[in-house]
Amino acid sequence: FDVDVPGGSTYRESSFTEPGKDIAAVDSPIGRLGLTICYDLRFPEIYQQLRFNHDAQVILVPSAFTPVTGQAHWEILLRARAIETQCYVIASAQAGKHNKTRESYGDTLIIDPWGTVVGRLPDRLSTGITVADIDLSLIDSVRKKMPIAEVWGSIHALPSSTPWVSTMHQFFSGVVSTLERLPEATLDKTL
| 108-147 per-position pLDDT tens digit | 999 999 999 999 999 999 889 999 999 999 999 999 999 9
- Domain range annotation of the chain: 2-157, 158-191
Average pLDDT over residues 25-45: 95
2-157 CATH, one of 3.60.110.10, 3.40.190.10, 3.90.15.10, 3.40.50.1820? 3.60.110.10
What share of the chain has pLDDT > 70, as a percent? Answer: 79
Q: Average per-residue pLDDT in the chain? A: 84
What share of the chain has pLDDT > 90, as a percent? Answer: 58
Q: What is the pLDDT of residue 124?
A: 92
Average pLDDT over residues 6-18: 76
3-state secondary structure string, the chain? Answer: CEEECCCCCEEEHHHCCCCCCCCEEEEECCEEEEECCHHHHHCHHHHHHHHHHHCCCEEECCECCCHHHHHHHHHHHHHHHHHHHCCEEEECECEEECCCCCEEECCCEEECCCCCEEEECCCCCCCCCCCCCCCHHHHHHHHHHCCHHHHHHHHHCCCCCCHHHHHHHHHHHHHHHHHHHCCHHHHHHHC
